Structure 1
Amino acid sequence: MTNTKWVVDASHSSIDFSVKHMMVAKTKGVFNKFDASIEADPADLTSANIEFTIDTASIDTRNNDRDTHLRSADFFDVENKPSITFKSTKIVKTSDDEYDVTGDVTIKGVTRSETFAVTFEGQGKNPWGQEVAGFSGKGTINRSDYDLTYNAALETGGVLIGDKITISLEIEASKEA
């Protein structure tokens, strides 16, 4: 089968993240606005072309003060660097429905290669007869690699914000008509 274009259904998709806070708990958040360009054969993603663009101003951690700080130059600097991008460079099948998707991630003007574990969740027709496919993905990046270095030392030792960011994706896409 050949690659076809797929359109992400944002109302049935999400990009979530979590980070250690105060060395003992995790703080979670989402990016509410993102877009993707996907050309793929869902039955075999090894030849897929996948690109994501995330609107950094759409960050939402359910705390307005924290979100405002995350949008500032201390973190994402949304005025000067309004998006995070991902462009796949290599996709390796690791089992029947699982893949390692490697690509260039750009945050705050810094580009690094990262790999995400992606699972093809299935394919079918929605009630309107449109072909849909589902994918989930997970990976970890180090925020300091992308000049996201703001932090504070704790009196008890350690730091306020962990370096490792866990990213989780749930994507539902429909075949472009």
Structure 2
Amino acid sequence: MTLTKWTVDPTHSGIDFAVKHMMFATVKGSFNSFEANIEADPAELTTATIEFSVDLASVDTRNEDRDNHLRSGDFFDVENHPKMTFKATNIVKTGEGEYDVTGDLTIRGVTHPETFSVEFQGQGKNPWGAEVAGFSGEGKIKRSDFGLTWNAALETGGVLVGDEVKISIQIEATKQA
């Protein structure tokens, strides 16, 4: 088993999130700028080195006012904390091509261990002869764990923005020569 370096192809990858709004609706968004350092044998991720860095200013919920609010000190505070990072600390195989990837997630200077379910989607050669691999991942975090506590009370009870954030990751990576 040889670990090789893989480069994420941002045009065929994505980091998306969803959070409850007004206790019953869901708002979705994406981060359009991110990078990763991955050294892995895609068929056996337990020995992989995985690090992600997300440019928080690239948040996109398809609403400029909301995106600007998310960039502000009420939420991400991108002026003082421009990046969200994740560094894997433990990878456990849970099934064929399935893993629990635990690591240190840092947002706004606060670090907590978080676990994402990751699935190896397969690999093959693209039309230009490069070896590519696909991965998907999902997880949930509590935004309050990272100091993202801004909210507004609703007249009917409850709050405007939910605490649980669902994260979905789709990665296509190219093997480096």
Partner deviation per Cα, 1:103-142 (whole Å, 9 max, x = no partner): 0000000000000000000000000010000000000000
Partner deviation per Cα, 1:27-47 (whole Å, 9 max, x = no partner): 000000000000000010000
| Paired residue secondary structure (2:36) | strand
Partner of 1:57: 57
CA distance in 1, matches of 2:129, 2:176: 12
RMSD: 0.3
Q: Structure 2 matches for 1:129-140, cutoff 5 A?
A: 129-140=129-140
**Residue 152 (1) aligns with residue 161 (2):** no
Cα offset, 1:157, TM superposition = 0.4
| Paired residue secondary structure (1:169) | strand
| Paired residue secondary structure (1:84) | strand
Partner deviation per Cα, 1:56-114 (whole Å, 9 max, x = no partner): 00000000000000000000000000000000000000001100000000000000000
Q: Structure 2 matches for 1:24-173, cutoff 5 A?
A: 24-173=24-173
For 1:32, the aligned partner's letter is: N
| Paired residue secondary structure (2:91) | strand
| Paired residue secondary structure (1:66) | helix
Task: Provide structure 2 residue ranges, at least 5 long, that are not aligned to the other structure.
Answer: none
Task: Provide structure 1 residue ranges, at least 5 long, that are not aligned to the other structure.
Answer: none
TM-score by length of 2: 1.00
| Paired residue secondary structure (1:11) | helix
In the alignment of these two chains, the number of paired residues is 177
Cα offset, 1:50, TM superposition = 0.2
Partner deviation per Cα, 1:7-50 (whole Å, 9 max, x = no partner): 00000000000000000110000000000000000010000000
Cα offset, 1:2, TM superposition = 1.2
For 2:149, the aligned partner's letter is: T
Partner of 2:20: 20
* Identity of matched residues, %: 70
CA distance in 2, matches of 1:98, 1:26: 27
CA distance in 2, matches of 1:117, 1:22: 28
| Paired residue secondary structure (2:66) | helix
Runs of 4+ with >2 A deviation: none
